[in-house]
């Protein structure tokens, strides 16, 4: 690798590493190459946020760790095709008005770099995005061409995540899904009003249009395959998006309401939340002045999102007009349970799967284990513990054969206990 190419890789890796939409953990670059300085951000149609730390391992520039849907940790080469951009998103270091160093790969450079890193076992796949250096169709064609060449000419069998450039044509989006495992178009901000203010060249209509095209093409491909036609798979790992939290003034209710709608309407696999990190010092930018990124808020949003995706909660069950923000002291499922005493206690010997899922502290694995064990033998609290059921929070919300482990009729006191504001000597069991 020549020094020039190494510098280019550092520049384009640094510009891409904050995009959370591939669940990146951030990267550790041996080249140390964030040209805009530590904490600088963003760039790409997916821009992105949030260096969540690294594994502390020296790896080549651009290699980051990500998690798959089933919890496996994978390494990806995460880069921009180009950080040249015509747009002027207020929060992005690659906006047109920024004086950050610019660079662009060629298709062949990216293909050989990906293959070389793959052959050396540095990576299991590629995450590719880009600044908007030309018309959306031309940018999208470049990204698609890299994926096409990797699959067709280089025989690359690893994972590919391509960013969709909103405004690019249907044909290109449909072709991208034939080569990529996952596609993502980042919504970035929760309302059209915020997009107009902070990312004026972006359009919610175009972003949703791209998501709709992916969703439709995927549904059609799956339908074709069901009928045993010789149809190729389309983006088999689905599509995702990213929302920046705290750059604009929307409340959590607006954010999870949008996420809930996106899951339903476009069958998204994931919405990634990225705490806004201030990197642009421009008083006229319209960005809030904050001293640190709102990481706890981001964490609570992920918990609320989990409730919608896996526990069948509707967004309106989690927050309402009177409670527009998630509780910082307690997780959203516990808050829901405390607000719905009529749903508790849940009788472990009789409850169905859905009822078990609503108990704070019980997850899908515990619920399934309880149902399985219940068919084979009578359960007691010690038996629950042996099943691996964690009762630290659940103990206040369940009965077993009518017996309470801990009975609490005072929701305010229980709230204080669960949020750590009151110490309680737990009787009987030390779970
Ligand atoms: S489109 Fe916006 S977020 Fe993406 S690189 Fe350009 S300025 Fe940055």
**In the chain, where are the structural domains located?**
3-318, 332-418
pLDDT of residue 60: 80
Residue 231, CA distances (Å) to 216, 266, 269, 381 in order:
15, 21, 22, 52
With a 6 Å cutoff on the Cβ, whether 90 touches ligand 1 is no
With a 6 Å cutoff on the Cβ, whether 129 touches ligand 1 is no
Q: Which atom of ligand 1 is nearest to the CA of 80?
A: 5
Mean pLDDT of all residues in the chain? 86
pLDDT of residue 410: 82
Split at pLDDT 50, 70, 90, the class of 21 is: low
pTM of the model: 0.86
Specify the residue with its C-alpha closest to ligand 1, atom 1.
45
Pick from 11, 131, 203 the residue to mutate for probing ligand 1's pocket: most ligand atoms within 8 Å of its CB: 131
Split at pLDDT 50, 70, 90, the class of 412 is: confident
C-alpha of residue 271 to centroid of ligand 1, in Å = 19
189 — phi, psi (to 5°)?
-125, 145
pLDDT of residue 150: 98
**Residue tagged 């509707």 (tokens):** 314
Q: Which value, to the nearest 10 degrees, does the dihedral of the CA atoms of residues 265, 356, 305, 331 take? A: 160
Is pLDDT at 276 greater than 70 in this prediction? yes
With a 6 Å cutoff on the Cβ, whether 98 touches ligand 1 is no
With a 6 Å cutoff on the Cβ, whether 130 touches ligand 1 is no
With a 6 Å cutoff on the Cβ, whether 133 touches ligand 1 is no
Q: Which atom of ligand 1 is nearest to the CA of 46?
A: 4
27 — phi, psi (to 5°)?
-135, 165
All residues at 6 or more sequence positions from 323 whose CB lies less than 8 Å from its CB, including other chains: 253
C-alpha of residue 286 to centroid of ligand 1, in Å = 16
Helix-, strand-, coil-residue percentages of the chain, each rounded to 5: 40, 15, 45
- pLDDT tens readout for residues 84-134: 999 999 999 899 999 999 999 999 999 999 999 999 999 999 999 999 999
Angle between helices 332-339 and 295-310 (to 10 degrees): 70
C-alpha of residue 87 to centroid of ligand 1, in Å = 6
With a 6 Å cutoff on the Cβ, whether 94 touches ligand 1 is yes
User: Nearest Cα to 183, choosing from 204, 165, 161, 167?
Assistant: 161
Q: Which atom of ligand 1 is nearest to the CA of 86?
A: 6
With a 6 Å cutoff on the Cβ, whether 95 touches ligand 1 is yes
With a 6 Å cutoff on the Cβ, whether 100 touches ligand 1 is no
Q: Rounded distance, CA 40 to CA 186, Å?
A: 19
Specify the residue with its C-alpha closest to ligand 1, atom 2.
89
C-alpha of residue 285 to centroid of ligand 1, in Å = 14
Beta bridge partners of 73: 67
- pLDDT tens readout for residues 400-411: 999 988 887 788
Q: Is pLDDT larger for residue 43 or for residue 35?
A: 43
Specify the residue with its C-alpha closest to ligand 1, atom 7.
95
Specify the residue with its C-alpha closest to ligand 1, atom 3.
47
Pick from 12, 18, 20, 44 the residue to mutate for probing ligand 1's pocket: most ligand atoms within 8 Å of its CB: 44
Token reading at 289: 């002045």
Q: Is pLDDT larger for residue 59 or for residue 378?
A: 378
C-alpha of residue 309 to centroid of ligand 1, in Å = 29
C-alpha of residue 362 to centroid of ligand 1, in Å = 41
Is pLDDT at 44 greater than 70 in this prediction? no
With a 6 Å cutoff on the Cβ, whether 132 touches ligand 1 is yes
- pLDDT tens readout for residues 184-195: 999 999 999 999
pLDDT of residue 330: 95
Q: Is pLDDT larger for residue 67 or for residue 322?
A: 322
> By mean pLDDT, which of 26-35, 271-280, 342-351 is the weakest?
26-35
**Residue tagged 């808020």 (tokens):** 297
14 — phi, psi (to 5°)?
-60, -35
- pLDDT tens readout for residues 294-348: 999 999 999 999 999 999 999 999 999 999 999 999 999 999 999 999 999 999 9
Pick from 45, 96, 139, 164 the residue to mutate for probing ligand 1's pocket: most ligand atoms within 8 Å of its CB: 45
Specify the residue with its C-alpha closest to ligand 1, atom 8.
43
Could you please state the CATH topology (level 3) that the domain comprising 3-318 is classified under.
Answer: TIM Barrel (3.20.20)
With a 6 Å cutoff on the Cβ, whether 45 touches ligand 1 is yes
Q: Rounded distance, CA 286 to CA 38, Å?
A: 22
């Amino acid at each position: 690798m020549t020094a020039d190419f190494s510098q280019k890789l550092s520049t384009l890796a640094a510009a891409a590493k904050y995009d959370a939409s591939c669940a990146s953990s951030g990267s550790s670059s041996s080249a140390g190459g964030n040209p805009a300085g530590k904490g600088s951000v963003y760039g790409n149609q997916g821009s992105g946020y949030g260096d969540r730390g690294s594994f502390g391992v020296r790896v080549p520039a651009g290699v980051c760790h990500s998690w798959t849907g089933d919890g496996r940790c994978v390494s990806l080469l995460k880069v921009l095709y180009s950080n040249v951009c015509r747009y002027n998103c207020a929060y992005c270091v690659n906006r047109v008005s920024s004086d950050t160093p610019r660079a662009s790969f060629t298709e062949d450079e990216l293909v050989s770099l990906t293959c070389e890193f793959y052959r050396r076992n540095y990576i299991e796949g590629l995450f590719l995005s880009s600044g908007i250096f030309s018309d959306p169709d031309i940018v999208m064609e470049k990204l698609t061409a890299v994926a096409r060449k990797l699959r067709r000419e280089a025989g690359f069998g690893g994972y590919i995540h391509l960013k969709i450039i909103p405004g690019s044509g249907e044909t290109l989006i449909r072709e991208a899904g034939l080569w990529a495992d996952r596609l993502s178009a980042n919504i970035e901000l929760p309302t059209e009003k915020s997009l107009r203010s902070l990312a004026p060249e972006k359009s919610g209509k175009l972003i949703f249009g791209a998501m709709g095209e992916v969703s439709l093409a995927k549904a059609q491909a799956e339908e074709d395959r069901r009928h045993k036609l010789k149809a190729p798979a389309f983006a088999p790992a689905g599509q995702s998006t990213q929302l920046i939290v705290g750059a604009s003034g929307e409340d959590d209710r607006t954010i999870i309401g949008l996420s809930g709608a996106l899951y339903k309407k476009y069958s998204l696999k994931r919405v990634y939340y990225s705490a806004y990190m201030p990197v642009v010092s421009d008083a006229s930018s319209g960005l809030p002045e904050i001293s640190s990124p709102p990481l706890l808020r981001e964490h609570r949003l992920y918990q609320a999102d989990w409730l919608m995706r896996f526990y069948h909660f509707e967004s309106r069950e989690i927050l309402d007009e009177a409670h527009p923000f998630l509780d910082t002291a307690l997780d959203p499922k516990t808050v829901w349970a405390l607000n719905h005493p009529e749903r508790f206690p849940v009788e472990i010997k009789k409850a169905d799967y859905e009822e078990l899922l609503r108990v704070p502290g019980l997850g899908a694995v515990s619920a399934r284990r309880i149902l399985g064990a219940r068919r084979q033998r009578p359960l007691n609290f010690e038996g629950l513990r042996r099943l691996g059921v964690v009762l630290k929070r659940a103990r206040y919300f369940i009965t077993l054969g009518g017996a309470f482990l801990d009975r609490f009729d005072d929701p305010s006191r229980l709230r204080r206990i669960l949020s750590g504001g009151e110490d309680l000597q737990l009787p009987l069991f030390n779970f």
